[in-house]
Structure 1
Amino acid sequence: MPDVQTAAQRISQLRSQIDAHNHRYYVLDEPSVPDAEYDRLFRELQALEAEHPQLVTAQSPTQRVGGAALAAFGEVRHEVPMLSLGNAFAEDDLLDFDRRVREGLGDLLPAADLFGGGAPVEYCCEPKLDGLAVSLLYRDGVLVRGATRGDGSTGEDISSNVRTLRNVPLQLQGEGYPAVLEVRGEVFMSKAGFEALNARQLASGGKPFANPRNAAAGSLRQLDPKITASRPLEFCCYGIGQVEGELAATQVGILQQLKGWGLPISRELKKVEGAEQCLAYYRDIGERRSSLAYEIDGVVFKVNDIGYQRELGFRAREPRWAIAHKFPASEELTELLDVEFQVGRTGAVTPVARLKPVQVAGVTVSNATLHNMDEVARLGLMIGDTVIIRRAGDVIPQVVQVVTERRPADARPVHIPEQCPVCGSAVERTQLVKRSKGRETLSEGAVYRCVGRLSCQAQLKQAIIHFVSRRALDIEGLGDKIVEQLVDVGLVASPADLFTLTYEQVVALEGFAELSTRNLLTAIDASRKPTLARFIYALGIPDVGEETAKLLARALGSLARIEQALPEVLTWLPDIGAEVAYEIHNFFADSHNRQVLRQLLERGIQLQGEGELHAEFSACTTLAAFIDKLQIPFIASTGAEKLAAQTGSLQALIELSQDWLSLSALKGLNEKARQSLRDYFANPANVAKACLVEAQLRDFGMHWQSQKQVIQGLPLAGQTWVLTGTLEAMSRDQAKQQLEALGAKVAGSVSARTHCVVAGPGAGSKLDKATELALPVLDEAAFLERLAELQANE
């Protein structure tokens, strides 16, 4: 047996050799030794580590086989969100993307020639792998964490599993890598690996996977890392997240750096100029798609210049500097066996096609969405038809066409059920209300709904599943199956009933013991103090998603105001149109919903973060805009401004409308507009409604005569800042967040009302405008110093 020092030296040599062979084999696809030689080296290392267990390290190649199984995955909060990409499905979509990029960069782009509109943008091009997005975190070159994308903000800790992937370096190669480096990429399974895995599954009596993506996702999310280690998974990086250190100034440059540190990147990586070269790359990859060793569903284009990426920034959940150009969906023929109807959370009764199973783009499809009965009518669909199935975006199966010449003689029409298939209540077609210029017109909607509401178990179950979901009240351990069980045995008939559950009731349920019962009741109790925004989202108001719920909570500040808010008042809030406003108002006007709300508060729900109306919306109305929102026929915004200037108040406007002599003398309104104003306020209902809306605006502090408020306690309250150019110490989004946290509003353009402009390298027209207006301008160093001062004084 060699002594410890000699063994340590040999172990170090073997690890270096094996890591190099792994890199050449799995990353470069250029093996330099036969498999037998590799196996010999690996066995020697295993033997030495067995003799000297004190020398085993987490970075050893022998540790990829996987450790002990986990009870569950932990959560990982992404320091930099893992955003999704916008999609292009046609060439025009990509051309529009390129146009938006060039317009967004504006003067930052160098001039092309006398007749051009600016030089073409450089793009980084890569195939879009069909796998699972993951994040790898390296500290001082050592892999310390792996995580799934999750919802973009929070993922699952899969560190033990990613360590088993042969082409993921446990220790970065070379030198010069940042102290903290988060690498993002796709875990996927090659076509050959997928076929071999399914062959093994069938041979062992297991169930085969439907497609490589499902196989990769299922393999990576195994609680037992040994199972992951046995699966033919590969990793390919496409970008970065959190970084502490210097990296190249271009997307392609960063990826080449990652390759130099031992990380695998796409062999199809290419840099091009302009949209036409992007399209040429897309067509080339499309022609070679079937010959690639792995499944792809499109191509990803990213603005190559990192500074330009920062300038373009993000919108909602996707970057403005990247897009996924999807390949056309695959299509197949099959038979429509039946149409069944599902009932959703809001009572919508949706037709679902049951199909003779067929392979579409490598996936077995037996069900497809039909959206609604209008779509069934548009298709002319009958049960028994031969239909064309497409996987839209290579993901969602849908029926796109009926092959009428193959229609059998016994084909049957599709009828919406008169009674709910779950509860037997009546099914009614929705009515669409169109509101315009003081008139409401009704038309039939495309959706049919069960009128049973929470007496319908399908709606009740879905409503409660939504209520307890992660982004709502986030009650851990209360999954779909348990919710269904609670409803089925009659313990829960509304969300409020969750907070009356007792130990004796829960422990008697199938699958529950003492510990699981106490854990569930503890989780329910811990959910009693949600933020107002989470609570509003949890209620499941139609068309009210997370962002709208956050807006309602931030703007109106209290549940009481949100409950009372009239539709006309809600439309003063940004991004809330008339239809959503009426959905919100109608939800809180419903007696059953009010009863559930009252029960929730009586049973211990304590809303956090309630307060006053947000200062941004104090005195946010004007009389002219108020008149315009009354939707009086023939009175547009210019007419509303003239009436506001003439009257100064709603009461004076009402009096003017009935004083024909004064009204006739008013300039700027034609005869039709004068008569329309007179007719509108001659109706007592219109007068009452206008006065009611004005009274609520006054109560809420939104009235034009209300006192304008500023955000108290924040040093930049009421100020408007603009960011332009490239920031190096932080991203533009991070800078925006810091300014907003200090009370500032961050705008996208410079005006006389701008308080300060932060200008990094590459600042263009915004800096010129700031100089022209003699506005304060800070470079990045001065900006960081100012931030530090403000934050220190808070």
Structure 2
Amino acid sequence: MFAHAAQQPPAAPADADLAAAAAEISTLRTEIARHNGLYHGDDAPEITDSEFDALVRRHEALERSFPALARADAPTTTVGAPPKAGFRKVAHARPMLSLENAFSEEEVREFAARCRSALGLPPTAPLSFAAEPKIDGLSLDLRYENGQLVHALTRGDGAVGEDVTANVRTITDIPQNLPHPFPQILEVRGEVYMTKDGLASLNIDRAAQGRDPYPNCRNAAAGAVRQKDPAKTAARPLRFYAYATGELSEPIGDTQMRQLATFARLGFVTNPHSTACPQVDDLLAAYQRIHTLRPDLPYDIDGVVYKVDEVALQAQLGNVSRTPRWAIAHKFPAERVVTRLEAIDIQVGRTGAQTPVARLTPVFVGGVTVSNATLHNEDEITRKDLRVGDLVIVERAGDVIPAVIGVADSDEDRSVRAPYSFPRQCPECGSDTVRGEDEAVRRCIGGLSCSKQRVTRLIHMISRPALDINGFGSEAIAEFVEARLISEPADIFRLHTRRGDLLSRKGWGEASVDKLLSSIEEKRRSPLNRALYCLGIHQVGQTASRDIARQYTSHSAVRALIDRLLGERRAALDAAGGTLDQKSLDRLHETLAKQIGIAGIGPEIVRSLLNFFDDSDNARMADELAAEMIIEDVVYVTASSPITGMTIVFTGSLETMTRDEAEAEAQKLGAKTSGSVSAKTSILVYGPGAGSKLAKAESLRVRTMTEAEWRLFIAPPGVS
């Protein structure tokens, strides 16, 4: 996030304040990371842009007030989300960064002042900007070599994107060949979008097929680009606006506006409302003009992007973390309407989270008809005193999923409507729901015996961070569960016995079935950390799974640990007559966490882990899955390696291994790994997108290697 003007350091906080801030920051980081994945990775946001921005801004405020809690790997420093399984992953030649957001005239003026200050210009010195509408679509990077389109990548996580070239070739706004003259290498970045009329037509067709409509233009465009069949992409009314460059073999213009003119000459469509703005007042005038035009534009926009116009000055300003210093997005305020709250439904997530959703009398807002909205959790319903039948205010910000802001003023007598009582049983399976003392979310305790959790956990199981089974998507999981081909995790590895049933299904031919079964078979042998993470246990994320695997090294040892801790917890409960008060239970889990002996594995993770395996259905299904797999032990071989005793740092986007896998491999060979570069660093291994760590290593004269050089360096003698 863009660094703000320097502030006086806060006074040393009291321990209680620091503890409260640490707890809030931890919760914020979890929520921000989750919503980032939903928006960028799944195209299925649950909250509005303004609500997400509020989370980020609160996180930044806490980090400024409590610098000791700041972390370099916080989700506010990341861009987008990891690329989805099913598409080839390709590293960007230059990272695709995100933008800082501004919400007021004051923040825009502060942005301009920071730019002048960083460039060494006096406050009154002229500095020209460019302003252009912020299209609400899917960011795309197009690479041309010798005038030919060679690949098209989504943003992904900013360093690595999804290769969607075959689908993008069907978009008529994107030229396949460039007219002379052109640079030898040209990367054009822009936004794939769908018009409002295009979305309406598409949703009419989907309704005729009995399918759910797309909620907005962005989701429809993103879904179209990520189709497995390019013919399906070609059938969607997709458009493309070019607005930026990536890697270039030579300049194509010395200003943003001249680059846009070059794009137009090369056959790209650029936004006609882009304009040069010599002064900050011109930026604000452009914002007001575009905001006024917004309802009549044929496409969705959620703000205006400002950029320093001169390319040389952009380079001089550079980047901060995930954002450029020379650009900012001035977001539009949310749109609000009043409608009737007809019902409150409960949706069940992967970990049993019970999320309330408002069912509304359909109302037109922000260019679409809205019939449902998020309510977040039961505390929000209570705080706003929402009752079924109320007239409510609905806000739609950023053209994403709307939210209910509160009850609208009216002359109605609300006393005739009873306050809403959050259900204590899961609507999917009837199991009891529980809510942790420090949690806002109520969860179903049914685990994998809950039909909804079963589907979502199976989807989690095959996802990229878990078992990473290529070609096995959420639609196939839902289809196979409905057809009773699978019902629990182990069934995925038993699908080879149902090959005939698979072949009898519409859309599944021999090639696709055999490809799927082959992908499943490849992941039958998986590392211990992935086997643990794929279970989808609440609080047991990738980091906790990795740390437990490294500490206990084998599946049998982890299972024995869980059984031992479960035995101790049951004995303590029996000694207390079957129940413990919350404080005593917290102390018990803290004691058990100390026995595990892993930094970062605290009482909350222990409680979730034991609660999962204390359920007999969960334990049985986990054990049956393990019986179907070959779960690889973590083996440390530290004898006589070229890197024994060294400290290794990995940075950038590694192409042949994940960061965790690289660190585990280095540790097996007797090295230590670190997340930061210092004079004690022995080697820095870097991939595409390496930034400040590489620069610091070079300034400290630390040895640096590419990933390929690293592979050769650690290879056993005679292996190349």
- Is TM more than 0.5 here? yes
How far has the Cα of 1:459 moved from its partner? 1.8
1:111 maps to which residue? Answer: 120
What is the rounded CA distance, in whole Å, between the counterparts of 1:211 and 1:345 in structure 2? 24
1:329 maps to which residue? Answer: 334
2:423 maps to which residue? Answer: 417
TM-score (norm 1): 0.58
How far has the Cα of 1:323 moved from its partner? 4.7
Structure 1 residue aligned with 2:350, among 335, 340, 345? 345
2:180 maps to which residue? Answer: 174
Structure 1 residue runs of 5 or longer lacking an equivalent are 1-72, 434-444, 614-708, 724-729, 759-764
Question: In percent, how many aligned pairs have the same letter?
Answer: 36
What is the rounded CA distance, in whole Å, between the counterparts of 1:231 and 1:572 in structure 2? 51
What is the rounded CA distance, in whole Å, between the counterparts of 1:508 and 1:732 in structure 2? 36
1:567 maps to which residue? Answer: 593
| Cα gap change, 1:255 to 1:229, in 2 (>3 Å) | same
Residues 1:79 and 2:91 are matched in the alignment: yes
What is the rounded CA distance, in whole Å, between the counterparts of 2:327 and 2:141 in structure 1? 18
Amino acid at match of 1:394: D
What is the rounded CA distance, in whole Å, between the counterparts of 2:187 and 2:248 in structure 1? 6
Helix, strand or coil: the match of 1:460? helix
Helix, strand or coil: the match of 2:425? coil
- In the TM superposition, what whole-angstrom CA distance separates every residue of 1:498-539 from its partner, at most 9, and x where no partner exists? 323452586189727783655544332222123445434322
- In the TM superposition, what whole-angstrom CA distance separates every residue of 1:19-58 from its partner, at most 9, and x where no partner exists? xxxxxxxxxxxxxxxxxxxxxxxxxxxxxxxxxxxxxxxx
Q: Contact 2:646 / 2:682 at 8 angstroms: preserved in 1?
A: no
Correspondences of 1:264-663 after superposition (within 5 Å)? 264-270=269-275, 281-301=286-306, 305-308=313-316, 311-314=319-322, 323-407=328-412, 410-427=416-433, 429-432=434-437, 445-476=439-470, 478-480=472-474, 482-484=476-478, 487=481, 492-501=486-495, 503-504=497-498, 507=501, 511=505, 515=510, 518-546=514-542, 564=561, 567-568=593-594, 573=599, 579-580=604-605, 583=608, 587=612, 593=618, 595-607=620-632, 610-612=634-636
Structure 2 residue runs of 5 or longer lacking an equivalent are 1-84, 563-591, 686-691, 715-720
Amino acid at match of 1:599: E
Residues 1:138 and 2:144 are matched in the alignment: yes
Structure 2 residue aligned with 1:155, among 155, 162, 175? 162
Q: Contact 2:105 / 2:284 at 8 angstroms: preserved in 1?
A: no
How far has the Cα of 1:360 moved from its partner? 1.6
Residues 1:718 and 2:647 are matched in the alignment: yes
How far has the Cα of 1:209 moved from its partner? 7.2
2:578 maps to which residue? Answer: none
| Cα gap change, 1:385 to 1:522, in 2 (>3 Å) | same
Helix, strand or coil: the match of 1:359? strand
| Cα gap change, 1:403 to 1:271, in 2 (>3 Å) | same
What is the rounded CA distance, in whole Å, between the counterparts of 1:157 and 1:122 in structure 2? 36
Which 10-residue stretch deviates more, 207-216 or 347-356? 207-216
TM-score (norm 2): 0.63
Residues 1:91 and 2:104 are matched in the alignment: yes
| Cα gap change, 1:468 to 1:283, in 2 (>3 Å) | same
What is the rounded CA distance, in whole Å, between the counterparts of 1:99 and 1:716 in structure 2? 49
1:238 maps to which residue? Answer: 243
| Cα gap change, 1:381 to 1:74, in 2 (>3 Å) | closer
How far has the Cα of 1:380 moved from its partner? 1.0
Correspondences of 1:752-771 after superposition (within 5 Å)? none
What is the rounded CA distance, in whole Å, between the counterparts of 1:531 and 1:90 in structure 2? 46
1:618 maps to which residue? Answer: none
Q: Contact 1:567 / 1:585 at 8 angstroms: preserved in 2?
A: no
What is the rounded CA distance, in whole Å, between the counterparts of 1:539 and 1:550 in structure 2? 13
CA RMSD of aligned residues (A): 5.5
Helix, strand or coil: the match of 1:606? strand
| Cα gap change, 1:586 to 1:90, in 2 (>3 Å) | farther
What is the rounded CA distance, in whole Å, between the counterparts of 1:768 and 1:497 in structure 2? 49
Amino acid at match of 2:454: L
| Cα gap change, 1:221 to 1:461, in 2 (>3 Å) | closer
- In the TM superposition, what whole-angstrom CA distance separates every residue of 1:690-720 from its partner, at most 9, and x where no partner exists? xxxxxxxxxxxxxxxxxxx999534993278
| Cα gap change, 1:133 to 1:217, in 2 (>3 Å) | same
Q: Contact 2:153 / 2:162 at 8 angstroms: preserved in 1?
A: yes
Amino acid at match of 2:169: V
What is the rounded CA distance, in whole Å, between the counterparts of 2:441 and 2:206 in structure 1? 43
Higher RCO, Cα 8 Å, sep 6+: 2
| Cα gap change, 1:94 to 1:491, in 2 (>3 Å) | same
What is the rounded CA distance, in whole Å, between the counterparts of 2:552 and 2:113 in structure 1? 34
| Cα gap change, 1:485 to 1:124, in 2 (>3 Å) | same
Correspondences of 1:182-201 after superposition (within 5 Å)? 182-190=187-195
Q: Contact 1:122 / 1:274 at 8 angstroms: preserved in 2?
A: yes
Helix, strand or coil: the match of 1:263? coil
Amino acid at match of 1:312: V
| Cα gap change, 1:213 to 1:534, in 2 (>3 Å) | same
1:263 maps to which residue? Answer: 268
Which 10-residue stretch deviates more, 528-537 or 198-207? 198-207
- In the TM superposition, what whole-angstrom CA distance separates every residue of 1:374-417 from its partner, at most 9, and x where no partner exists? 11111111111111111243201211111252546653432223
Helix, strand or coil: the match of 1:530? strand
What is the rounded CA distance, in whole Å, between the counterparts of 2:236 and 2:509 in structure 1? 37
How far has the Cα of 1:144 moved from its partner? 3.4
| Cα gap change, 1:786 to 1:332, in 2 (>3 Å) | closer
How far has the Cα of 1:448 moved from its partner? 2.3
What is the rounded CA distance, in whole Å, between the counterparts of 2:245 and 2:199 in structure 1? 28
Amino acid at match of 1:403: A
- In the TM superposition, what whole-angstrom CA distance separates every residue of 1:576-607 from its partner, at most 9, and x where no partner exists? 77645654576567766555444333222333
| Cα gap change, 1:309 to 1:173, in 2 (>3 Å) | farther
Q: Contact 1:141 / 1:177 at 8 angstroms: preserved in 2?
A: yes
Correspondences of 1:5-44 after superposition (within 5 Å)? none
Q: Contact 2:396 / 2:403 at 8 angstroms: preserved in 1?
A: yes
What is the rounded CA distance, in whole Å, between the counterparts of 1:306 and 1:560 in structure 2? 55
What is the rounded CA distance, in whole Å, between the counterparts of 1:218 and 1:754 in structure 2? 44
